[in-house]
Structure formats: C-alpha cells, structure tokens
Structure 1
Amino acid sequence: MDDDLRDRVRAEAETHALYNALKHGSDPEVGAIMGPLMGENPDFRPHGDEIPGVVAPVVAEVSGMDDDERRARLLELDPESVEELEAEDEEEDAVLPDLPNADEYDEIRMRLAPNPNGPWHLGSARMPAVIGTYKELYDGWMLCRFDDTDPETKRPDLDAYDEIIDAIEYLGFEPDEVLKASDRVETYYDHARDLIELEGAYTCSCPAEHFRSLKADAEPCEHRDKSVETVREEFEAMVDGDYSDGEMVLRVKTDIEHKNPALRDFVAFRMVDTPHPRPEAEQYRAWPMLDFQSGIDDHLTGVTHIVRGIDLQDSAKRQQFVYDYFGWEYPEVVHWGHVQIDAYDVPMSTSTIKARIDDGALTGWDDPRAPTLASVKRRGIRGEAIVDAMVDLGVSTSNVDLAMSSIYANNRDLIDDDADRRFLVRDAAESDADGRDRLPSGSVESFALAGDTPDAGHPPLHPNHEDRGDRDVPASGGVLLEADDVPAEGERVWLKGFGCVRRDGDALAWVGTDIALVREENVPVVHWVGAGDDEHVRVRLRTMDGDVVGYAEPGYADYDVDDVVQFERVGFARFDAAPADGDEFVAFYAHP
C-alpha cells in the first residue's frame, strides 16, 4: 500500500469512526466500520489484509474523544453527516402528543373498532398504528371490538375478522381483548330496556321522509309522548322480529329543538330483514345503530380515550345523551382529519377494492396495485415502516397526505442491511390497461465475450458487509444486458463485479479491472447476467404498474419465500414463489 492510499484509508476511517460513535453513543469498533468503509471504496479491497492495521489506530483515537470533540471534528470532515445525525435525533424525539387528562386515570384503555366488511386498506392502518403506539407509551390496554351490527349495508365478511387480526399483528401490535359486537346484542337490548324505563327512548313508526321533515322543522312526532308501557311492548315486538325493515325504530329522546338537527331524537335500533352472516347472530332482526352500540360498549369495557375521525364529532354528542341518562362519564376524545395516500389509482375504499376484484381488474386483496395492507405485506414492506409513517402524521384535525415514499424510506432503513444484492436484467414489461410501465424496460441483448475474460463475475453479496463474501455470476456463455445499458460501438461499460469491456460488434472485448476507469473516465457501471441457458433464471417481477419479466443471476434460485433482495439498479423485491413447472420465479417489487 503506497502512502497516498494509506492517507485516504485513514481519512475515510476517521469519518466513519466518528459517525459510528455519534450515531450509537458508544466507542467505535474496527469491525463495525470495515463493512461501510470497504463498500464505499472498492479500490481498498485489494489491500484488505492491510486495511485493519491502518484503521485500528484511528478508531483508538476516536475512542479517546468525548462526544463534543467527535461532533466538532466530524463537522470539519463531513458537515452533511452531522446534519443527517441531527435530523435522526429530531425524528427520535418526535412523539405523539400527550393524551388529554391521562394522569387522571389508573390505566389508559383504548379501542380499535373495525367494521369487518373486508380486509384493511392502507388508511385503516392509521388507527392501530396510533392507538398501539399510545398503548406502548402509557403501558395501557387495547381492545379490538368488531363493530359488526350492520348485516346489510356494511355486511360483514366472515374472513375479514381473522384477516384484520392478522393485519394488527403485521403492524406489530396485539390486542389485549377481542370482542364481536354481534355477540353482545342481548346486552344492547338490556340497556335499551333500561333507557326506556328512564323515559329516554321511544318507539317510532313514522316513515323516514316524514320524520326527516319534522326533525328539520324541530317538531316532535306523534310517538314521542307514548307511555313507557307502550314503548316497552313495542320494543319487545321489535326484539321478537314482529316488524319488518322500516316499520319501527327505537329513538333516543334528546332535544327536538337542538341547534344541530343531526342530534335530534336519533335512531338507536332499527329492523333489518337480512340475516347476519355469522350463524351465532343470524336470529336477530332488531339491530343497534353504531352510535348506541359503540357508546354502550365503550362504557362497559372501561375505555378512557377514543381516537376517531373529525367527521364523527356528532357521534360523541349523540352518545353523550345516552351517557347522561345513565349517569356515566364520557371518555376523553381525540379527533383527527382524514389521511390520503398517493401512488395509487384505486381509491382507498373497501367496497371499491372489492368491486375491482370481482370484475377482474385486480387479482385479489394482495394484488400489488391494490392500496391494501395485504398488498404491501406481500411486496415485502414491513409493518413497522407503515406504523412509523402513520405516527409521524400525528393526530391533527386537518386532513393530511401521506406519501408512499416515506413508507419506502422507512422500510429501506429496516431491510437494507439484511437484503442481499442480485442482478436482474429486465427483458420486457407487461403493462397495465393504461399502458404505463413504472420500471424502465426494453429487450435484452446478448453479447459474446472476446479476449482473455474471466469465467464469472464476483460482485459482493452486500457492499457494506464484506464478511458475507461474494457471489458467483457465471459468464462463460457471454452476457445479457438491458438495451439501455448497451454501449455504442467502441465504447466501454463496467460490468459490475466483472470488469471493463468495450463494444466490438456483437462481442464485448475485455479491457481489464482498473477501477480508475470508473472514477476518472466516467465509464458507466451496469448490471448483467450470463447469457448461457444455465447462467440465469427467468423471473416475473410483479409491480404496481404491471409485470416486468427478465433474467436474474442463477443464485436467485436459492432463496426462500419472503426473502427480500435488492435487484441492483432496479429496487428491493420479495421472493414470492419458485416455479411450479420450471418456468418463472415470481417476485413482488417493494420500492426503489
């Protein structure tokens, strides 16, 4: 190793050691910085045996500094890395706002209240992300209560109960208790009976349009002053299923002249002719409305804090009337605005997604084009990445936008260190109906190798972890390149992990392995695979904008389902399936 190279190694090692020490709040170690050092400086690798001896004294010097000295020195050497560290510190310090009056409760008890009318879309993740995080912050208690008391308009999907629990676990949380509202109908009946005895409810057979007109004019209907005995009898007839849909409802008696018409004598129970899909609940015809059912359950399960959308402000006010009748204290409420997520053409609507699946536009809830948790999970995106992005939105009452790029950035931080690198040469894209290809693609071109070339390339499995070794990419049958990477006649490219070659007609002539060509002469670095039949495997990469097919290096066949690799210059992808017939491996594209 000459003196110039030795000085470069010392300088790079000092920067890495300072950054490592400040990032982790501890003294650096030689082994911890060797991977990044060698990964970012390929020309150091031929001197791998000598490098640790140069690095060790530098690490010892940094270990003798305090944090102020380390930060000041790193600011001299690499100001941008100090800014990066400060940004990370700010992110770590950012937490959700304190829950209102939290110190007045012995235990913080919160609930998720999903409607199981289908698997969750991405927007649904905000509720468990925030409530689960609050549970952890306060060492609290979390209920998952399925609000499934609408067997018709938002008819429950029997598979969705387990799918939603799986989604909560995917996001990294576990409910302390799980309830189904449809198992608790008798409880709601009992509380309705109590409310009737308190003269807080009455049965009403007004046609819906007629009552709507009366309510708008702040006028009571003729049924409002029925005797308790009559109301009791008619409610029991509702329970017995003696009325059909629309014939009779039970209303909570509020203030018929309330300034907000939505709060005037609202419906607590209605008749539904359609049987519930759950066998345990199919006998019921009188079903509670969500505001009544949810309000009763929140009290009975001891919920202290409710997080709900700003559009549900009236729900809290309706429920407050019921709580006042019973003499209960209403939970604390935090309202937030809607979240919108970019990058998808399909709306975040359970009914819309289901319709797209039914008409064949999507292959299922885990189609990469679907804005669902099942989809991003299959793409190899970790639940933690979604939770962090959702928590960062806070709980503002304003509507907020979430860029998928923030989820991708979070996920990249989580998976990059473990993801092996592999080559995928893209042959063609099978576009979606709109003809869009997110990933560039073109026909693959094959070239023979001329001259005294190696039989294989040996790029590292991971540029930051030299200890993991190199991979063998065979090239005895020539190489395949993407059309955009093919050099013009007489021009050169650097085949990553192989060396430099020059275009000579239908062949690539060997130039050598002098890395200075890349650094000083701007020779482009490209990925590639061997052209021989046994030197690559066929891969179908499923993306948000259609399938991309191509050829991966043969080592890709050794992975297992759920393994994530980074196809260099393409992006991260999750191994989904090995070929059943020896044809194509299937991978799902995660993100760049």
Structure 2
Amino acid sequence: MDSELRERVERAARTHALLNAVKYDSDAEVGAVMGPLMGDNPEFREHSDDIPGIVGGVVSEVNGLSADERRAELEELAPEELAEIEAEDEEDEHTLPDLSNVDDGVVMRAAPNPNGPWHLGHARMPAVIGTYKDRYDGRFICRFDDTDPETKRPDLDAYDAILDAIEYLGFEPDEVIRASDRLETYYDHARELIDIGGAYTCSCPQGEFSDLKNAGEACPHREKDAETTREEFEAMIDGDYSAGEMVLRVRTDITHKNPALRDWVAFRMIDRAHPRPEAADYRCWPMLDFQSGVDDHLTGVTHIIRGIDLQDSAKRQQFVYDYFDWEYPEVVHWGHVQVDEYDLQLSTSSIKELVDAGELDGWDDPRAPTLASLRRRGIRGQAIVDAMIELGTSTSNVELSMSAVYATNRDLIDDDANRYFFVRDGVEKAVEGGPDAGHPPVHPEHEDRGRRDVPADDAVLVEPDDVPAEGERVWLKGFGCVRHVDGAFEYVGDDIDAVREEGVPVVHWTPTDGVSVRLRTMDGDVTGVAEPGFADTAVDDVVQFERVGFARVDAHGDESVAYFAHE
C-alpha cells in the first residue's frame, strides 16, 4: 500500500472512529469502524489484509482523547455528521412530553395484574415510566395489584415473568410491591375512614343498591353509625360473611351527576382463597380503586399514567384523598395501543385460553403477541421501547406498527449477525466443475471476520424459485457462476461482471448434507437445510439467513431450531 492510500485510509478511519466514539459516548471499536469504512470506500477492499492494522492504530489514538477532544475534532472533520448525532440525541431525549410539577421529584409506578405473562401492549407502561425515570432521575415502582383472587386470579408464575419482561425491556424497578402482602395496611386505612365518617357497611343485594344509586337515593345503611360499621367491618375481616353478603362503601355524593361515583365499593368478600400462601387466609379484599389509591399515597407516587377509560378512578379516589387530606398525584391519561400484524387479540385471558387449549405451544409461541414470543424470536427489548416511546401519550388510541419495531431491531442486531445460507424446499442440482467450496463473507461489512467454507463437492441445494431455465445462468454466492444444462449446474467462471453488467441473479445455496433446520415463524414452521457452519452457532445467537431474514438460534440437535425475527 503506497503512502498516499495509507493517508486516505487513516483519515477516513479517524472520522469513522470519532463518529463511533461520540455517537455512543464510549471508546471506539475496530469492528464497528471497519463496516462503514469499507462500505463508504469500496476501493479499500482489495487491501483488506492491511486495513485492519491501520484502523487499529487509529482507534487507539482516538480512544486516548477525552470526550471533549473527540467532539471538537469531529466538528472540524465532519460537522454535518456531528449535527445529526446531536439532533438524534435531542430527539431521543424529548420524544415524550415533559411532565409537569417535577421540582419535588418524580415517582411513578407500573401496576400490573399478575394474571399472566405480558403481551406486547403491556410494554408501553414500563417503557414510558422507565424513560421518564431516566429523564428526571426519578423512581420506578412495580406494584402487583393482585387483590382480586376471583375474576382476575393471579398466576403464581406471572410475578417473575413480568419482572423478567421489565428487565428484557432494559429497566429495573427501584421497588417491587405485592398488594396481597399489604391487606393489614388497607384494613387500617379503612378503619380510619370509617371513624371519620367516610365509609359504611352495606348488605343490600347488588341489584337493589344499583337501582337506588341510579335513582340518586340512599340505601337504608347509609346513615349507619360508625361503631356499627366498625363492628361489621371487623366481621368482614374475620370472614364471618360470604361473598355478596356485605361490602364496605365509601360515602361520596349519592346524587352526584356521575352514577359511577356514587358510594362506590371499597371492600368486598371473596370466598375463593388467594393462590399465594401468604394471602390464602384472607377473605375481605379491597377493590382496586381503594387499594391503588392508598398505595399511591403511601409510596409517594407523584405522577400516574393510566388509560383514558379509567378517568373515573381518579375521581373515585379523590373522595378518599379528601377525607384523609392527601394531595392527589398528577395524572396523564392515554388511549389504548393497538398492534398491527397479529391476528390474535391483545388480551391475557384470550391468549391463556389458546395456550390452555394447545392452539399455541406456549406464551413464547412465535404466533403469540407476547413479550416472551418477541424475546425468543430475537427482538431486542430496546426496539420495543423505542417504538412505544414514539407513540407518545396521546389520549387517542394509537397503533404500534411492527415494521417500526423490526426496523429498529434490524439496526440493533445487523452488525453482530453473521450470515449463513438456509435453503427451504431445496432442489438438488449436480455441480460440474468449479472449486470444491464457496467462500462467502461471514459478514459483508466486516471483512476482518473472514469467510465461510461452504462445500460444493458434487451437488448443491437451491430454492425452487432460484432454479434458472435450461441454458440460463445464476450466481451461487461465494462460489461463482453456473449454467443450467441438462438438469445440472455447469460451472462457467467467477467473473463478477456477469452479475454487475449482465444481470445474472445471485442466489444462496447449501450442500446436500448441510444442517437440518426447523425455522419457527408467525406463519408456521418451515424446514430446510443450512450450511454446515451453522452448527457452530451458539443458542441465543442472532444470525441472518441470507435472502430469508434474521433469526435467533434456539437449539441444536438432530434438527436445529431457529426462531424467525423479521426480514
């Protein structure tokens, strides 16, 4: 390599090393510099043996600079690229609207009902809360609202599954609370509410009370004295009543213009035992509005995000807050998130029914719209978070486009995903002439990773649509050009001009004795053969099957299994 070319390589490498270091606010890496360097300068490729050493020296020099020195030099060498990085940083930081009243700190909570693992829609809450936590150096509480052992019965496995999902999304709660551990706290606040005249026990049949409430008329128990109410509430706690026999109501305004706010139920009896052993003996359970309202105050929550359909919750809870002279948190209401691409409903109960019926293999079935499924397919949690943040906090219903998730994920995984051939429904073709093997690159943008050895001794497999007409040619990637003659592939050379100037199509291929692979996709399982080197991949590696798409390696054995991520 002459001195002039070496200077060009050093200059270009320095710019890319500075871009890499400034963009990610860390030391530059040779591998991350090599890809864009060679992509922007194809004329460097014929010197690929010498360039990694030059780049290594440049990267060492750049890593010896301070962050300010790197930014200053990049502003001189590539001011437009630096401006783009700064614009991206600004956009990433402020995609979500700022919260109001943050001077005294920000404490937010995700309050999942642990009745099953999370579907994709559940990711929105921790994504937004985690982002706000980072922006304001706040606190993130995960509170399991598990005080309904009947209609939304907790799944014991869901507690850890949900915490795993939050970790997968890139966040860690500062505090984890299980409401079912806090019954005595709720009882104490109910007793206090009774003593100050804010609650009364009621044994009206549900239908009868509903009629009175809708008419704006008080039930006969409303004026019950606090002592009697207290005695009957203690009997509820002791389990002396069965389901439906007695409730504790918050005394609000029986003539309120919104019937949903009139004397709402704070505690009710549930005969079915809670699945958690620690809570199995309790029969008197708080309703969510009471439990959540008390917990938000006691844990110092400053800002609540909830669905627009739950506006009445804040209004109900405000009555309790007024009785106790508490200040209600700031509230942000948002619309529902809908997800395209999936045929299945975003509903924990609906997905559970399909799993229990065997129509889905499990919560991580590739067809399931769950975080467990996306994780198994090789989708990075950050891709989901980025897409959720883009939705903002509009009160309108919004649609999450999976193409946005895939686009971000592609950017996250492409650099690390080595390439392999995988042929579906392979057609066997004898190969006449040519080398014994093909040598496609491990990664087209990382020549330092070397080349693969794909045997082509006697015959190869190609996909049916890639078989050319008799007499026509195709380019077997990494091997060379072949002509379809008498049902076989006749080698005709390795002049790349056949592709560049004559338009010969490039196709992938494998030897006939490659690795048997089952590729699990949203449309069902696909079987085929991968090149032999695929057997050396590790479980959890994300690879790109060339011309097929990205996939996560799930298992190796008599048949390897991979989960399709996206194209």
TM-score by length of 2: 0.90
Q: Please list the CA deviations of residues 23-46 of structure 1 after superposition, one character each: whole Å capped at 9, or x if unmatched.
A: 765999998654345457878644
Secondary structure of the equivalent of 2:528? strand
Query: 1: distance between equivalents of 2:469 and 2:52?
Result: 41
1:586 aligns with 2:567: no
The gaps in structure 1 that reach 5 residues or longer are 75-81, 428-443
Aligned counterpart, 1:559? 537
* Aligned pair partner of 2:124 in 123, 126, 130: 126
CA distance in 1, matches of 2:123, 2:413: 20
Q: 2:453 matched to 1:472?
A: yes
Counterpart of 2:471, as a letter, is G
* Residue 302 (structure 2) pairs with residue 304 (structure 1): yes
- Conservation of the 8 A alpha-carbon contact between 1:23 and 1:85: no
**What residue is the counterpart of 2:290 in the other structure?**
292
**Pairwise CA distance, 1:174:** 1.1
Change (3 A) 1:173 1:518: same
Residue 447 of structure 1: which of 393, 410, 429 is its match? 429
Q: CA deviation at 1:138?
A: 1.3
Aligned to 2:489: 508
Work out the CA distance in 2 between the residues paired with 1:272 and 1:30: 63
What amino acid maps onto 1:450 in structure 2? E
Is the aligned partner of 1:519 residue 2:500? yes
Change over 3 Å in CA distance of 1:11–1:481 after alignment to 2: farther
Report the residue type matching 2:198 in the other structure. Answer: G
Deviation at 1:207, TM superposition (A): 1.1
- Aligned partner of 2:65 in structure 1 is none
The one-letter amino acid paired with 1:399 is N
Letter in 2 for 1:219: E
Which residue does 1:342 correspond to in 2?
Answer: 340
Can you list the C-alpha shifts for 1:144-192, whole angstroms capped at 9, x where unaligned? 1110000000000011111111111111111111111111111111111
Is the 8 Å Cα contact of residues 40 and 464 (structure 1) preserved in structure 2?
no
Q: Deviations over 1:449-470 (max 9, x none)?
A: 112x100001111111110101
SS of corresponding position for 1:521: coil
- 1:504-537 Cα shifts (integer Å, max 9, x gaps): 1221111111111111111111100012x3xx01
Distance 2:376 2:28 in 1: 37
> 1 CA distance for matches of 2:509 and 2:84?
33
Q: Deviations over 1:439-490 (max 9, x none)?
A: xxxxx21111112x10000111111111010111011131100001111111
Residue segments in structure 2 that go unaligned for 5+ positions in a row: 62-70
Indicate whether 1:499 and 2:477 are aligned.
no
Structure 1 counterpart of 2:409, which letter?
Answer: N
Structure 1: how far apart are the matches of 2:484 and 2:243? 78
Deviation at 1:22, TM superposition (A): 5.8
What secondary structure does 1:306 align onto?
strand
Give distance in 2, aligned partners of 1:198 and 1:309: 32
1:138 to 129, 136, 139: 136
Instruction: Choose the corresponding residue for 1:572, options 550, 555, 566.
Output: 550
The residue that corresponds to 1:257 in the other structure is 255
Deviation string for 1:393-422 (max 9, x for gaps)? 111111111001111111111111111100
Matched AA of 2:503: N
Pick the aligned partner of 1:396 from 394, 397, 410.
Answer: 394
Instruction: Output aligned runs, 1:23-422, within 5 Å.
Output: 25=22, 34-38=34-38, 45-48=45-48, 67=75, 70=78, 88=88, 91-92=91-92, 94-103=94-103, 105=104, 107-422=105-420
Aligned partners of 2:41 and 2:245: how far apart in 1? 78
Following the alignment from structure 1 to structure 2, what is the Cα–Cα distance between the partners of residues 525 and 11?
A: 32
Paired residue for 1:456, among 412, 432, 437?
A: 437
Q: Secondary structure at the match of 1:284?
A: coil
Residues 119 and 370 of structure 2 are in contact (CA less than 8 Å); yes or no, is this contact kept in structure 1?
A: yes
Distance 1:94 1:138, change over 3 A: closer
Aligned to 1:432: none
8 Å CA contact retained: 1:13, 1:33: no
- Counterpart CA distance in 1 for 2:496 and 2:54 is 22
**CA distance 1:48–1:144, change in 2 (3 Å):** closer
Instruction: Please report how far the alpha carbon of residue 86 of structure 1 lies from its aligned counterpart in structure 2 after TM superposition.
Output: 9.0
Q: Secondary structure at the match of 2:285?
A: strand
Amino acid in structure 2 at the alignment position of 1:314: D
For residues 95-114 of structure 1, give each alpha carbon's deviation from its aligned partner in whole angstroms, at most 9, with x where no partner exists.
322111001x1x32111111
What percentage of aligned pairs have identical amino acids?
70
What SS does structure 1 have at the residue aligned with 2:152? Answer: coil
Q: Secondary structure at the match of 1:501?
A: strand
8 Å CA contact 1:43, 1:515 repeated in 2: no
* 8 Å CA contact 2:19, 2:74 repeated in 1: no
Amino acid at match of 1:97: P
The match for 2:66 is none
2:67 aligned partner:
none
Secondary structure of the residue aligned to 2:475 is strand
Work out whether residues 39 and 466 of structure 1, in 8 Å CA contact, stay in contact via their aligned partners in 2: no
CA offset digits 1:124-157 (Å, max 9, x no partner): 1111111111111111111111100000000000
Distance 1:64 1:173 in 2: 33
Per-residue deviation, residues 247-269 of structure 1 (Å, max 9, x unmatched): 11100000111111111110000
Which secondary structure does the structure 1 equivalent of 2:278 belong to?
helix
CA deviation after TM superposition for structure 1 residue 289, in Å: 0.1
Q: In structure 2, do the counterparts of structure 1 residues 426 and 42 end up closer, same or farther at CA, with 3 Å as the change threshold?
A: farther
Mapped contact 2:9–2:51 kept (Cα < 8 A): no
Contact 1:249–1:269, Cα closer than 8 Å, also in 2: yes
Partner AA of 2:141 in structure 1: L
Checking the alignment, whether the CA contact within 8 Å between 2:419 and 2:545 is kept in structure 1 is yes
Return the alpha-carbon distance in structure 2 between the equivalents of residues 48 and 481 of structure 1.
30
Report how far residue 67 of structure 1 moved: 3.8
Distance 1:541 1:12, change over 3 A: farther
Distance 1:485 1:566, change over 3 A: same
Partners of 2:93 and 2:135 within 8 A in 1: no
TM-aligned CA distance change 1:298 to 1:30, over 3 Å: closer
CA contact (8 A) 2:16 2:33 kept: no
Once residues 177 and 64 of structure 1 are traced to their aligned partners in structure 2, the CA distance between those partners, rounded to angstroms, is 41
